[in-house]
Structure formats: C-alpha cells, structure tokens
Amino acid sequence: MARTEAYFSVDIEADGPIPGPYSMLSFGIAACGTFDGATFEPSDPSKRTFYAELKPISDDFVPEALAVSGLDREKLAAEGRRPEEAMHAASGWIERTAGDATPVLVAYPLAFDWMWLYWYWIRFTSSSPFGHSRHLDIKSLYAAKANAMVVRSTKRQMPAALLPDRPHTHNALDDAVEQAELFQNLVRWDG
C-alpha cells in the first residue's frame, strides 16, 4: 500500500536567473494538504509555514531580479541565515511536518523554484527532503485538467474561481501560501 503524500507549496526569491553565480535570497514553504491515493485533505496553508532569508553566496546579481523581491542584499549579508543552516532547518521542518507521509513539493512555475531549492539542498546539505523528483508543477496540473496549451495556462487565463483571494506580493512566504490555495483549488476542480 502506498504511503500518504504531504504537499508543500514553495516559492523563492533570487537575485539572478540561475543558482551558483547568483543567490537565492529567501524562500517560503507552506504545508497545504495530504493525499492518500483516494482523498485529498487540504489544510490551511497559513498555519504551518517555514520562511528564511539567506546570506548571498556571491557578489554578482542582476539589479532587475533583485528589485522584484524588494530585499536588501547588504542587510542580508549581515543578518541573513547561512545557507547551510537554513537548508538543514527547512529539511528538518519538512520532515517533522510531513510525519509519516512522503513530502511532495508543489510550485508555480515548478522549474524555477525547484532549480534553486534543489541546487541549494544538494550544495549545502547533500540531500533534498523531496528526493530528486517528488514535485508537481501547478501550471502543468492546470493545463492537463483544463485541456489547455501550456502557453495558455497562466494565472490570467485561469477561471477566476480557481484563483486565491491573496495578492502575489513577491514575498516568498506570502506567495507560497497563495500558490498553496491555487493548488488546493485545482486539485478539487473537475476541469
């Protein structure tokens, strides 16, 4: 019998397009539900969350990318968490929150957030709490359920009833919670 899956919505803010040369500045995680293979049980994503702001790992950054988050690199260099500590803390929180369930990461769009988080987990802790492939793209889920082309699967093109009431603020935790609600709505939607 398969184990229950525990879903975690994630969002990151970075100062460039790729990890390594650039830095992940913050990330947020919101626990948003479980699935036992038959029933999805949503949970309030604002109740169980993790958030970290990180010290930059390089001096390089793209000003436009940095501006999106509104974070201050100098302040983060002085006060941000060390990536090793933050990634270990996030892994521990995910494992405790998931309990006996298997953690699965969900994001919109998955490729960007997964790339950063997976790189940081492997680089700074040598393992990911989501393995190398336990993840689900919210945009692809919508495209499949709506029978829509991927290029026509943006939030602007989704039915209003699917969209959360929360604004997209570019604060990683706010956006993880917002995306968790979108994920919950999509899981329950018949298409």
User: What is the C-alpha to C-alpha distance for residues 191 and 188, in angstroms, rounded to an integer?
Assistant: 9
Query: For the chain, give me the number of helices (H) and strands (E)?
Result: 6, 6
User: What is the C-alpha to C-alpha distance for residues 142 and 137, in angstroms, rounded to an integer?
Assistant: 9
Annotated catalytic, 135?
A: no
> Which of 132, 135, 168, 170 is the catalytic position?
170
Mapping DSSP to helix (H, G, I), strand (E, B) and coil, where does residue 184 land?
Answer: helix
| Residues with catalytic roles | 170
